[in-house]
Structure formats: structure tokens, C-alpha cells
Amino acid sequence: MYKYTLVEQDEKVEKFQEKRIEAFDNLEARLDNIKKLIRQGKLKTIKYYRLNPKSYDVVKGTDLVGDYFNDIETLLKNDWYEITRKIT
């Protein structure tokens, strides 16, 4: 009659939740890499401007990166769990 037993459903939920939590570890590792890339970009920009003191060239797209950071911060600040708890 039922497709899944309660034990199978519990195991699926547990695996799902583990994957969601592991995703944060992955994001933190990527963030560490991004921090290194930002430092490297800053050094390249400094070097470029020292070689080209009258230049208005954009060496790295910091404005776009900043916009992405704003979006990420907005996503992480919004506590969707709390919002949905209030609705139900």
C-alpha cells in the first residue's frame, strides 16, 4: 500500500540533511580560495598601477564582485526558516 516504510523515509531525510550541512563545508572551502584570489588580484592591481601611474584601467572587476557579495549576504541574512515557521 505505501511505497516507503518509515525507516526508509527517516534515512532519506537524514541523508538529505547531511548533504545540506556538508554544502556549508564546501562553501567555506571555496570562500577560503576566493580570499586568496582577492589578495592576488589586489597585488596585481597595485603592480599594474605602479607600472601605469596615469591609467584608469580596471584590472579586476571589483564592482561586480562586490555586487555578488551583496547578493550572497542578502541570501544568508534572510532567515527563511524563521519566516516559514511564522506562516505555518
pLDDT in tens, 27-85: 999 999 999 999 999 999 999 999 999 999 999 999 999 999 999 998 888 776 666 66
Q: What is the model's pLDDT at position 29?
A: 97
Grid-cell match 561586480, residue found: 64
Q: What is the model's pLDDT at position 64?
A: 96
Grid-cell match 538529505, residue found: 16
**Residue 61: CA count within 13 A, CB half-sphere:** 5
Q: Whole-structure pTM over 0.85, yes or no?
A: no
**Cβ atoms of residues 57 and 48 within 8 Å:** yes
